[in-house]
């Protein structure tokens, strides 16, 4: 059985519908296209598949309702669009799925819902319960109170979680143990060059591993959406490292969902490369990474090659503050992040033991809960 044929039997599916699929050129919902997609998704649901839908479109719908912006702060205005548009978007989904006898639930998320483990576990339980009850969760980032997606930026020293719904869909797929992530956009898949520029660019059917060369094929964001192929490849990377198949396909293509799940060669399929434990998935893809531990070359080599724990002797610098139990990035001497881990000590405590041996920890603190700053079981190499 080839890799396409295996898709037929995958049970838990996360669909991501991009802005350019949900809306037409005039900014209204592309009714015939979206209804066709939802009908095919409903068919999968009636055949016993577990469906989760990540959607864009709230800001665009709100803008149609509130067309006169006046003199308002751009981010505040987009928050207002999201607040108004989200209700309209959910009403559309409710009316559409009701025709197939399917119930839906609205889930609005922020970065903290994933980065705080207690919240993440609570969210996971709620979503799994909805799925067991036969409900399709429809997920969007809560743009009204979380502006990272609206601003689309990386703050100095702080990597925001999702900046787009591509990454959000991948994190949802990762955290809910999905079997396949299907990203539907206005592109056919990943090409070995930008097809708008390179005449003989070829569509890549199967990707076994997302290498730097594969990442170099990405182009910029599509008009109307915030993401682009770069964010889709980043999403596929998260999904595949969580044991999930990822597919990027054109939502405008005829019967695209049915063709994908009949094993037809359509779009680009990314194969799983590694299966992380639940805890390591959370560590690897914890949403907000705002603090970093810089290590020397010897520590980097030990972490990567020997799967060692992080000892204080290998630490050069602590960047930003963190508490015990937080997830931090681990960077090398060139400030390149190569791992993430959950720390045993706070940033203030770590600063006191930089470059020291483990047996000196108790002398400095008056106690020693751990010999290591991060134990190897709580480290993920990126």
**Calpha distance 10→236 (Å, rounded):** 17
Q: What is the mean pLDDT of residues 76-97?
A: 91
pLDDT at 150 > cutoff 50: no
pLDDT for the residue numbered 225: 44
| Average pLDDT over every residue of 42-71 | 87
Separation between Cα atoms, residue 332 and residue 296, nearest integer Å: 6
Task: Determine the average pLDDT of the residues in 222-242.
Answer: 76
Lowest mean pLDDT among 124-138, 266-280, 290-304: 266-280
Q: How confident is the model at residue 5 (pLDDT cuts 50, 70, 90)?
A: confident
For the chain, state the CA radius of gyration. 22
Cα distances (Å, whole numbers) of residue 40 to 163, 180, 233, 257:
29, 16, 25, 6
- Predicted confidence at residue 160, as pLDDT, reads 38
Nearest in space to 168 (alpha carbons), one of 337, 17, 360, 327 = 17
Q: Where is pLDDT greater, at 365 or 1?
A: 365
The total of other beta-carbon atoms located within 10 Å of residue 136's CB is: 21
Q: 46: pLDDT confidence band, cut at 50, 70 and 90?
A: very high
Q: Are 17 and 55 in contact (CB under 8 A)?
A: yes
- pLDDT band, residue 217 (cuts 50/70/90): confident
Domain 291-381 sits in CATH at 2.30.130.10
Give the Cα separation of 163 and 148 in Å (integer).
Answer: 5
CA–centroid distance for 89 within its chain: 21
Which residue would you say has higher pLDDT here, 225 or 307?
Answer: 307
Please tell me the predicted confidence (pLDDT) of residue 69: 63
228 C-beta neighbours (distance < 10 Å), count = 18
Rounded to 10°, the helix 31-46/74-98 angle is 60
The model's pTM is: 0.78
Asked whether 381 and 304 are in contact (CB, 8 A), the reply is: yes
CATH class of the region 3-282: alpha beta
Distance, in Å, from the CA atom of 327 to the CA atom of 99, rounded to the nearest integer, reads 44
Whole-number Å distance between alpha carbons of 382 and 380: 6
Helices 117-132 and 165-175 cross at an angle (nearest 10°) of 80
> What per-residue confidence (pLDDT) applies to 268?
96
Neighbours of 376 (CB within 10 A): 14
Residues of the chain with CATH 3.40.1160.10: 3-282
Choice among 35-44, 56-65, 143-152, 343-352 with the minimum mean pLDDT: 143-152
Examine the pLDDT at 137 and tell me if it is beyond 60.
Answer: yes
Give residue 329's pLDDT.
93
Res 154: pLDDT: 39
Phi, psi values for residue 98, rounded to 5° = -60, -30
Q: What is the rounded average pLDDT of the residues 31-36?
A: 93
pLDDT above 60 for 348: yes
Q: Which of 17-26, 321-330, 372-381 has the lowest mean pLDDT?
A: 17-26
| CB contact at 8 A, 158 and 228 | no
Q: What is the pLDDT of residue 75?
A: 80
pLDDT for the residue numbered 219: 56
- Is the pLDDT confidence value at 81 over 70? yes
pLDDT (0 to 100) of residue 118: 82
| Closest listed residue to residue 272, CA positions, set 91, 3, 1 | 3
Q: What is the pLDDT of residue 287?
A: 61
Return the pLDDT at 156: 28
- How large is the average pLDDT for residues 258-276? 89
Task: Specify the pLDDT at position 223.
Answer: 44
**Dist. CA 142–CA 83, nearest whole Å:** 9
Of the pLDDT bands very low, low, confident and very high (cuts 50, 70, 90), residue 146 is low
Lowest mean pLDDT: which of 27-36, 118-127, 204-213, 220-229? 220-229
* Every domain range in the chain assigned CATH 2.30.130.10: 291-381
Could you give the C-alpha distances from 204 to 191, 195, 217, in angstroms and in order?
6, 12, 10
> What angle is formed at CA 104 by the lines to CA 102 and CA 105, rounded to 5 degrees?
160
Going along the chain, which residue ranges are E strands?
Answer: 12-17, 50-55, 104-109, 136-141, 180-185, 206-207, 245-250, 268-270, 292-295, 315-319, 327-331, 337-342, 379-381
Round the average pLDDT of the chain to a whole number and report it: 85
């Amino acid at each position: 059985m080839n890799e396409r044929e295996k898709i037929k039997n995958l049970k838990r599916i996360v669909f991501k519908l991009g802005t350019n699929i949900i809306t037409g050129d005039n900014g209204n919902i592309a009714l015939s296209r979206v209804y066709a997609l939802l009908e095919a998704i409903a068919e999968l649901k009636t055949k016993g598949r577990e469906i989760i839908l990540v959607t864009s479109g709230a800001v665009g719908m709100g803008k149609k309702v509130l067309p006169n912006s006046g003199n308002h702060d751009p981010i505040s205005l987009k928050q207002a669009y999201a607040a108004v548009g989200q209700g309209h978007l959910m009403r559309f989904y409710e009316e559409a799925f009701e025709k197939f006898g399917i119930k839906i639930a609205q889930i609005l998320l922020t970065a903290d819902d994933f980065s705080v483990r207690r919240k993440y576990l609570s969210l996971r339980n709620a979503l799994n319960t909805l799925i067991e009850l036969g409900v399709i969760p429809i997920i969007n980032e809560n743009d009204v109170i979380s502006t990272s997606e609206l601003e689309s930026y990386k703050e100095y020293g702080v990597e925001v979680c999702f900046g787009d719904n591509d990454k959000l869909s991948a994190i949802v797929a990762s955290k809910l143990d999905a079997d396949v992530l299907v990203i539907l956009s206005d592109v056919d898949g990943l090409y070995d060059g930008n097809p708008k520029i390179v005449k003989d660019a070829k569509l890549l059917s199967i990707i076994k591993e997302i290498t730097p060369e594969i990442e170099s094929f990405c182009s910029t964001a599509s008009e109307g959406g915030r993401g682009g192929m770069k964010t889709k490849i980043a999403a596929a990377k998260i999904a595949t490292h969580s044991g999930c198949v990822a597919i990027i396909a054109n939502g405008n293509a005829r019967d695209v969902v049915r063709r994908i799940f009949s094993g037809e060669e359509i779009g680009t399929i990314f194969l799983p490369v590694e299966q992380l434990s639940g805890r390591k998935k959370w560590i690897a893809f914890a949403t907000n990474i705002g603090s970093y531990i810089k290590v020397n070359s010897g520590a980097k080599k030990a972490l990567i090659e020997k799967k060692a724990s992080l000892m204080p002797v290998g630490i050069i610098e602590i960047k930003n503050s963190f508490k015990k139990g937080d997830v931090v990035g681990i960077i090398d001497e060139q400030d390149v992040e190569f791992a993430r881990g959950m720390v045993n000590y706070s940033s203030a405590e770590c600063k006191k033991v930089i470059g020291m041996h483990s047996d000196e920890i108790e002398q400095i603190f008056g106690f020693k809960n751990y010999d290591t700053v991060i134990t190897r079981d709580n480290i993920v190499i990126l």
